[in-house]
């Protein structure tokens, strides 16, 4: 097995993506879709391997990404799903529209694990820690001052995403996320939401005024509904569909894209 063959080639760039590279990749996928990831770098004129392009697209450039800090509802959902699914980040992400597995994984490792320890809960087993472990955890941990800091997008190909982040920051119930999604779905049918959206479109997302505690009270039943047989039948696991399908025309996307800029 070993290293991916595309990474063995010389002169491939690594590290952070430049805005120019982002633009090339974004424009290429707008026009032609993904197709074969291994051919994307060459066709897009990038000195990157296909894996790198895929990761950049999925974690940053995808227009359906939700930006900004995690809401209390999302936080509760992640904790509940983690209890059921463990470190299956892609499956957890499938239940959080607009969030990536990488984003959730980072959030879990940097913030949620500590929060659970502070509450006396073992983040691995979700069971109460021993008194010694709890005391140790409380002694070593501090409240993260970043918990309420909004992550501002640097390069946001869709300004609506930034608007949603602003709404989140202000705590206003502007619910920009929904029209954002609906426009993509109804105006162009461009995205293949597949399992990502099925069964999740009725979430109380975007309703920042909703009562967090009451939502949490219903979380057990909600999780059962969401996860359903997945938690019990690992053989039936679903995978996220690619965001782009070859059947969509560039014009569809461009028209849709223009609505948002």
Using CB under 7 A as the criterion, which residues of the chain lie in contact with DNA when the complex forms? 1-7, 13-17, 36-38, 48, 50-52, 54-56, 59-60, 87-91, 101-103, 105-107, 109-111, 141-142, 144-147, 151, 239-240, 242
Cα gap 26→154, rounded to integer Å: 15
In this complex, which beta carbon is closest to DNA, that of residue 109 or of residue 130?
A: 109
Which letter does DSSP use for residue 247 in this model? Answer: T
Q: In whole angstroms, how close is the CB of 237 to DNA at the nearest point? A: 9
Which letter does DSSP use for residue 172 in this model? Answer: -
Give the residue from 67, 261, 25 showing the smallest Cα distance to 153.
Answer: 67
Q: In whole angstroms, how close is the CB of 3 to DNA at the nearest point? A: 5
In this complex, which beta carbon is closest to DNA, that of residue 3 or of residue 131?
A: 3
In this complex, which beta carbon is closest to DNA, that of residue 88 or of residue 119?
A: 88
Q: In whole angstroms, how close is the CB of 214 to DNA at the nearest point? A: 27
Q: In whole angstroms, how close is the CB of 145 to DNA at the nearest point? A: 4
Cα gap 48→259, rounded to integer Å: 30
In this complex, which beta carbon is closest to DNA, that of residue 36 or of residue 261?
A: 36
Q: Give the DSSP per-residue string, 94-161.
A: TTSTT--HHHHHHHIIIIIHHHHHHTTB-TTT-SBPPHHHHHHHHHH----TTTT-----SS-S-HHH
In this complex, which beta carbon is closest to DNA, that of residue 123 or of residue 206?
A: 123
Give the residue from 87, 94, 93, 92 showing the smallest Cα distance to 113.
Answer: 87
Q: In whole angstroms, how close is the CB of 57 to DNA at the nearest point? A: 9
């Amino acid at each position: 097995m070993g290293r991916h063959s595309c990474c063995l080639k010389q002169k491939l760039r690594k590290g952070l993506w430049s805005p120019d590279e982002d633009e090339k990749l974004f424009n290429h996928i707008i026009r032609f879709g993904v197709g074969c990831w291994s051919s994307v770098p060459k066709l897009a004129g990038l000195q990157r391997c296909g894996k790198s392009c895929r990761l950049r697209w999925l974690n940053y450039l995808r227009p359906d990404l939700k930006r900004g800090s995690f809401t209390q509802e999302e936080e509760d959902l992640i904790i509940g799903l983690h209890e059921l699914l463990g470190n299956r980040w892609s499956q957890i992400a499938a239940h959080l529209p607009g969030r990536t597995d990488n984003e959730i994984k980072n959030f879990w490792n940097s913030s949620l694990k500590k929060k659970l320890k502070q509450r006396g809960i073992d983040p691995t087993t979700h069971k109460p820690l021993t008194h010694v472990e709890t005391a140790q955890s409380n002694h070593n941990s501090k409240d993260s001052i970043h918990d309420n800091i909004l992550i501002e997008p640097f390069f946001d190909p869709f300004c609506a995403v930034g608007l949603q982040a602003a709404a989140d920051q202000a705590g206003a119930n502007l619910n920009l996320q929904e029209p954002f999604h609906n426009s993509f779905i109804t105006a162009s049918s461009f995205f293949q939401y597949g399992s990502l959206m099925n069964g999740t479109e009725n979430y109380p997302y975007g309703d920042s005024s909703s009562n967090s505690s009451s939502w949490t009270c219903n979380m057990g039943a909600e999780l059962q509904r969401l996860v359903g047989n997945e938690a019990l039948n690992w053989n039936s696991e679903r995978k996220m569909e690619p965001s782009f399908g070859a059947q969509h025309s560039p014009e569809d996307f461009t028209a849709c894209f223009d609505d948002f800029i």
